[in-house]
A = this chain, B = another copy of it.
């Protein structure tokens, strides 16, 4: 049995909140008997929803919040006017120790800003990074940074590697995750200065990391390593490009199966195999981005996630909260911090 756990949930964030968030919380709680949840949001709306859902009695506490952060609010507005909103309160409960981790499907920029302000950066982390869990041929791969920063110098890339490794251990269940540095691959022209310097730092570091050197874009989906490290600009482009290709192919596949009656029949017969493929491509199976490097866990669910997707994000938050990833990061930062990196 895992350590006891309280999850702090922004019940009002996301496209179909609060119906989806309440259902997703119920699905999460059913899978984690050791957990309870705080539901932040409009009490008048939430009370009947919670009452109508089996299995929530005694495991959910509604915490009233009159306001909510809208999807069009800019991060700066969210910081100025967000206090007392369901998102703000969800993160605040983590800050104040009333909960172990928070989850929100609301406005990404606002959540990053509010989390950064309240949870603060960990000691030694100058730039927190946004993580993504990427479905691959061999399972899942952690990619970071996918957009918290637009640039990263060599030392920041090393910090991302340290954070990504601890994150992978906590969430993928891999004891010693392999780590690669994203680069482009002609033999005599290996990437720009930052990436070459980070490579040298990681190769010669006192870390006990399974660092595998450079990987290329196609290695991500191949699952060549457990953690792919890159700057936020490149990582965000890679993530969105990959999503775009998957969406395009899914659309072409739908066309292929509805081209005529015979192909429709064929699609019907091939259904069991196609179901597997659909499950694999379903974003709700890998839902949850984390701004890693903060003093507490704040998980972002896709705004359009369904109840199962929201539950996946909650499970990710629980895995992180129940792991020692922050202790590991701190220890590794200390290893490379004084003398470790500078010694190169």
A150 CA to B194 CA in the complex, in Å? 11
| Cα–Cα distance between A273 and B253 once the two chains are bound (Å) | 8
Contact flags A226-254 to B (C-beta < 8 A → 1, else 0): 00001011101111111111111101110
- With contacts A184-B147, A239-B217, A280-B252 taken as known, whether A257 is within 8 angstroms of B234 at the C-beta atoms is no
Q: How far is the CB of A344 from chain B (nearest CB, A)?
A: 21
Q: Is A184 a contact of B266 with CB atoms below 8 Å?
A: no
A255-B273, A262-B270 known; A249+B249 contact, CB < 8 A: yes
Of all chain B residues, the one with the shortest Cβ separation from A109 is B186
Q: Say yes or no for A108: interface residue by CB 8 A criterion.
A: yes
Q: Is the CB of B136 within 8 A of A248?
A: yes
Residues on B with C-beta less than 8 A from A75 are 186-188
Q: Does A174 reach chain B (CB closer than 8 Å)?
A: no
Question: Is the CB–CB distance between A256 and B234 below 8 Å?
Answer: no
A206 interfacial by beta-carbon distance below 8 Å: no
CA distance A131 to B249 in the complex (A): 22
A249 touching B281 in the complex, CB below 8 Å, given contacts A184-B232, A217-B243, A241-B217:
yes
With A244-B222, A245-B245, A266-B271 given, is the CB distance from A184 to B150 under 8 Å? yes
Give chain A interface residues in 120-164, CB to chain B under 8 Å.
135-137, 147, 150-151
Chain A: residues with CB nearer than 8 A to chain B?
74-76, 108-109, 135-137, 147, 150-151, 182, 184, 186-189, 191-192, 216-222, 230, 232-234, 236-249, 251-253, 255-260, 262-263, 265-274, 276-277, 280-281
> Can you list the 9 inter-chain pairs with the closest CB atoms, starting with the nearest?
A217-B240, A266-B269, A266-B270, A218-B244, A256-B273, A217-B241, A259-B273, A221-B244, A263-B273
**Known contacts A216-B236, A266-B267; 5 further A-B pairs (Cβ under 8 A):** A136-B248, A137-B248, A184-B236, A266-B266, A270-B270
